[in-house]
A and B are shown apart, each in its own frame.
Chain A
């Protein structure tokens, strides 16, 4: 009887671990394959059977991806684009969330509903007129064209509002009596307290914008204005670069998002479970 129990205690975890490893390998395989391919030489990438482990750690393809494809330029464009949108989300989101949580005024609930309703409108219902607007303003191939439609965030406002609501109202009342203006209260009390929520929003907004595809595809034509996602896809499409160079590019593009994912994992998950999905 006792032996059977022991066997069970060893067997079950062993079984679970092998299942975990097997499934883990399956999930991670495409990324592993991209990394392996990024280190292969030109002849190696064109042979059958395909290599599933790297033969060397030759950084040649990475150099080629950065030089032949102006990947650095694309990275810079994406960084500027994502930086603008993230900063704007933090700023506009904080202001709106502050009004929704600390200020009392007529029509507040209606305005909050209007904010939320923007989350339910799918992109295809607005993208044609937005494209026409940006083109009419001659904003194609500019950062204002890339970012303007995405400067406000209903999701972020909602996220921040939920956090701001946990800050005691007494604090606000006391500050008001002491003659502290709302703007000062927001910047010196609320924002420092809400740093975790602002961090979640920053990571989320950055990832979302950095990974954007359709909008940058529509509003950028000039090679120098392409973002990374468009740049890498068109490399494959137009320049017909070898797969090892493209995979090196893919790995370079994935590095910032993986770094954010590993560092901000916990915070991001908390934010994401509040409800959002990538398109």
Chain B
């Protein structure tokens, strides 16, 4: 008897526990559905226009495509092999790397100089801070058009200044030698505002007491800059190196407006070559292989930067 009753009781307990479990599960399911409901509009956009195309880029890169971009013949890694045997691609890679080296250090050093100047506590300093960060409001297209005129071989202001200073004129965008540095100069100017703003914000955030106590210890401006400002700013500088490098690898507008990749491919950076291959030549598969390769290069570079540079960063 007792065993039967206890078995019944046990069964009842199990049943109620199951009911409780399903209730808890139902509640959990409901909260999950609700969360997904709030996220679904964003998720839908990301799915359709970020994750699906990312997969499709990999997929396309393995196929030769027909003129409207449908995969036609599976070619495996042939297009990647073709890339590394094509002088044009290797040359574009070289141009891209040169462009990064021209722009990133220059931008950060110039912005650092502006930020230090702008951090002076003087009357009316906010006017200068606004001027120093003003290129934030300038788009790539408008900046390029202004510089196109500045670089004008006969009428431009830059050659005029060189004339005034008694220096030889520079062919700027018209010579394969000077075209890339000229685009780089435009880019440095364009990125200066954002870099300065970020550095300035962090510079002003360094506690004043650090400088005060250093002064008491008899430290001069140079010593304070080296031993306080630089270490305190190093996380921001590191962030800017990573972000500016990625941005430089992806720069497109300046090249499209200023040089169209010329003269004689001197400014055909990787992204410009991708654009030409798919938009004008209809080589969707081949262009995708280039895009995937660039993605890989950028990924490796970022990982390298974190591995090599971040060790030298001082975190508070």
Residue numbers of A with Cβ under 8 A of B are 13, 16-17, 19-20, 23-24, 27-28, 30-31, 33-34, 37, 45-50, 52, 91-93, 95-96, 98-99, 103-108, 111, 114-115, 118, 121-133, 135, 148-154, 157, 182, 207, 210-211, 213-214, 217-218, 229-230, 232-233, 236-237, 243, 246-247, 250, 253-254, 257-258, 260-262, 265, 268-269, 272-273, 275, 277-279
Contacts and interface: CB of A to CB of B under 8 A. Distances in A.
A154 to B, nearest CB: 8
11 contacts: A28-B131, A47-B155, A105-B34, A114-B46, A122-B294, A124-B250, A128-B288, A152-B45, A207-B137, A211-B140, A247-B145
Contact of A30 (B28, B35, B189, B298): B189
Nearest to A124: B291
B122 to A, nearest CB: 6
Contact of A95 (B42, B191, B288): B42
Contacts of B305: none
B139 A229 contact: yes
Q: Main SS of chain A's interface residues?
A: helix
Contacts of A103: 31, 34-35, 38
Interface in B236-294: 239, 243-244, 246-247, 249-253, 256-257, 271, 274-275, 278-279, 284, 287-288, 291-292, 294
Nearest to B144: A233
Contact of A246 (B46, B145, B284): B145
A139 B292 CA distance: 26
Nearest to A47: B155
Interface stretch (B8-16, B52-60, B209-217, B226-234): B52-60
- The main secondary structure of chain B at its interface with chain A is helix
A128 B146 contact: no
A115 to B, nearest CB: 7
B141 A20 contact: no
A106 B134 contact: no
Given A99-B38, A124-B291, A275 B137 contact: no
Contact of A33 (B60, B157, B257, B271): B157
B57 A129 contact: yes
B73 interface: no
A254 B197 CA distance: 19
B141 A229 contact: yes
B38 A133 contact: no
Contacts of B251: 279
Given A23-B114, A114-B46, A278-B140, A99 B157 contact: no
A272 to B, nearest CB: 6
A262 to B, nearest CB: 7
A260 B137 contact: yes
Contact of A277 (B32, B132, B244): B244
